[in-house]
Amino acid sequence: MRAFSLKSISLDGYLTNKLFVFSIAILPFLRLFYLALNDKLTAHPIEFIEHSTGFWSLTILLVLLLLTPIRQIFKLNKQIRLKRMLGLFVFFYAFLHVLTYLWLDYDFNYDEIAKDVIKHPRILVGFIAFILLIPLAATSNNASIKRLGASWLKLHSLVYLVAILAVTHFWMLVKRDIREPLIFAMVLFLLLAVRVYFRFLAKQGRPS
Amino acid sequence: MNPKKDIAPSDLTPREVFESRRDFIKKAGVGLIASTALLLNCPISAATPKNTNLSSRKLKAISTAYGKGEKLTSYEDVTSYNNFYEFGSDKSEPAINAKLFKTQPWTLTVEGEVRKSKTIAMEDILKLAPLEERIYRMRCVEGWSMVIPWVGLPLSELIKWAEPTGNAKYVEFISLEDKQQMPGQNIPLIDWPYTEGLRMDEAMNPLTILAVGLYGEVLPNQNGAPLRLVVPWKYGFKGAKSIVSIRFTEKQPVSSWMKISPKEYGFYANVNPNVEHPRWSQSTERRIGSGLFSSRIKTQMFNGYADQVGHMYSGLDLKRNF
């Protein structure tokens, strides 16, 4: 996680907000520790950790995607500057999710993992989503933003694809009760629809 | 070939007792002597139960050789991680939502290709044959497994009582439908009631039991009380729970999961590491309770019961008939 810099202290309470959001976003991680120490990770702890980290990665991703529409709808001029931290949390939980699968579940047995990925489309979809997240996390620093310029935005629009893949991955896991992934899919659809709408408005308003 | 090597009848050992026996064995470090004693069903003095008050939940059952030496999945895990959609689709839900489920009185109806449809009360089912303890591996289609000490009676005993006609080629099991008591049934995840089916020879196989208990006690509600099917060489979903009716048919019945997704769930659903499932690995499995840092184990053909059941499928293409 990026260290807090003194520069970011400002009168608008930015640092306070950041600390607050950080404290909330780290809770699912601390909860896993608490449950592990108290032997409360259910009968199938590995599955529990996989589901929990996957759920929170996706949830934080949707919260992140909600920030821009909020700004647009409420016509806030101020940039919401928590995106980078939330984005890194998305990656953090996705990383734990994948690590749990590779290490705890499959003991880094690459033969078995390869078989699993090839035979089960949901694993493949999840893997693609994670791999696409890596360049986004790697270029989340200021230097990269400066260096990449306009192409940074282009690169980071991959986040929409990641979100679609991640929801699909979740949906494909569920045997029968699709209510939870359906909620995720509907929220994601709304968030994407709002973006399309604002893009359309922007084009309309632009003098030809 | 008789896989059943019965040991002298005795009261089934209550859970606390053999758990304390295990402790004793570990502590004393005389595993060999102790396990020999256990095998011969000799009483171990150190393991005499302190509390001899048997509550009404305790069941008397004959100890059998099935699963001797297997490490049992803990009672806690067996009773808190359940696929029982009638009480919720999350595995933690049945233990909560089935608490008040009424299993008394309970009757079972036999119908279809039988000499005469009839109904039997739960108490009378228990009198059809002496109860036996069967320690079986259970492999779920989702890639996890448990070892469960069931208490039950061979399904064949009930079938004999039911007097099926010569037309009976299959047996269909129908679970309870009761939206008042089973909150999960208010959601149309399954075309309620839940049904499952077996071929007649599978149903008559000595491994197939109707379970009425586990760990020496009456079946906990979340595990399918008061009466459920256990077919250890098939994926767990074949084990219909809270059964109210058994129907003998000439044609192969269509089970609930076959209706939902015929590509994923076949009629046979034999545990088979060579037939992949689109979602979960079937070549390996995770044993529940093995800890965070243990490896997956290889799934065995027919869940390791090939010697007892393999002959029923000779000549059947198991890849097509999954």
Give yes or no for A145 touching B (CB within 8 A).
Answer: no
Contact B107, B120 (CB under 8 A): yes
User: CA nearest B294 in A: which residue?
Assistant: A104
Q: What is the ipTM of this complex?
A: 0.86
- Residues of chain A short of pLDDT 70, as ranges, are 1-14, 77-80, 206-208
| pTM confidence score | 0.84
Q: Which domains does chain B have, with CATH numbers?
A: 15-313 (3.90.420.10)
B292 interaction partners in chain A (CB closer than 8 Å): 36, 41, 45-46, 104
Each residue's pLDDT tens digit, B190-231: 999 999 999 999 999 999 999 999 999 999 999 999 999 999
User: CA nearest A41 in B: which residue?
Assistant: B292
The total of other beta-carbon atoms located within 10 Å of residue B138's CB is 22
Ordered by start, the domain boundaries in chain A are 8-205
Give yes or no for A173 touching B (CB within 8 A).
Answer: yes
Q: Higher-confidence residue: B52 or A90?
A: A90
φ and ψ at residue B153, rounded to 5 degrees: -130, 155
Contact A171, A181 (CB under 8 A): yes
Contact B262, B322 (CB under 8 A): no
Distances (CA, A) of B259 to B194, B224, B253, B256, B263: 11, 21, 10, 5, 10
Q: Which residues face B218 on adjacent strands?
A: B213
Average pLDDT over chain B, rounded to an integer: 88
Give yes or no for A106 touching B (CB within 8 A).
Answer: yes
User: CA nearest A113 in B: which residue?
Assistant: B281
Question: What is the percentage of chain B residues whose pLDDT exceeds 90?
Answer: 82
A109 interaction partners in chain B (CB closer than 8 Å): 295-296
